[in-house]
Structure 1
Amino acid sequence: MNKYELALVVNAKIEDEARAAVVEKAKGYITRYNGVISEVEEWGKKRLAYEIQKMREGYYYFIQFESDAACPAEVERHIRIMDNVLRYLVVRKDA
């Protein structure tokens, strides 16, 4: 099992419940593909480096998880089409 980190930037203009639902959905995709979530960091609302979809701010989340090599591609495939996700990135962490 490899260690990965999923970085999510979520739309800042939606309600707290909707934002929590987006994060829970992303966590659900990780567990669906046999990933084990170890930590979820919420960095809160931050100013974006540049405007994305006419928005200047977003909520940042970092989800640490362990999984086999196929899981990150599947998670990215699902997150790519999610509403309210401005940017995402899955990176492998070195041991």
Structure 2
Amino acid sequence: MRKYEGAFILLSNLEEDVRNAEIEKVKNIITERQGTIEKVNEWGQRRLAYEIDKKREGYYVFIEFTAGADAVNEIDRICKISDNFVRHMITVDESN
């Protein structure tokens, strides 16, 4: 188990319940695979640094968690096939 930080940008025009369901989906993947969620930081709606697929804004969410590689791979897979995620990135937290 390693510490990770996930950065997720969701579509800015999603309804709140849909957006929360997508965030919960990621959190459930972590906990179902014996991982722990340290912190969830929702920045909310922000302007993107550059246009992505003709979109200028996104909803930013950062999740710090501890999990195995299988959870990270599943999160990556789910984010790639979902149309609600604009971008995502999961990095290993080397601060410890």
Contact 1:12 1:59 in 2 (8 A): yes
User: TM-score w.r.t. structure 1 length?
Assistant: 0.91
Q: TM-score, normalised by structure 2?
A: 0.90
**Structure 2 CA distance, aligned partners of 1:50 and 1:73?**
27
Q: Which runs of 5+ in 2 are unaligned?
A: none
**Residue equivalent to 2:75:** 75
User: Does the CA contact (< 8 Å) of 1:29 and 1:78 recur in 2?
Assistant: no
| Counterpart contact for 1:7–1:61, Cα < 8 Å | yes
Q: CA deviation at 1:69?
A: 3.1
Read off the aligned partner of 2:37 and give its amino acid letter: I
Mapping for residues 17-32 of structure 1, pairs under 5 Å: 17-32=17-32
Pairing 1:34–2:34 present: yes
Shift of 1:74: 2.2
CA distance in 2, matches of 1:59, 1:46: 6
Deviations 1:7-56 (A, max 9, x none): 10000011111111111111112222222111100011110011112110
Q: Does structure 1 residue 61 correspond to structure 2 residue 61?
A: yes
Aligned residues: 95
Are the equivalent residues in 2 in contact too, given 1:33–1:74 (CA < 8 A)? Answer: no
Taking the aligned partners of 1:77 and 1:42, their CA distance within structure 2 comes to 22
CA distance in 2, matches of 1:14, 1:75: 19
Q: Which amino acid aligns with 1:82?
A: S
State the identity %: 43
Match of 2:92 in 1: 92
Question: AA paired with 1:18?
Answer: V
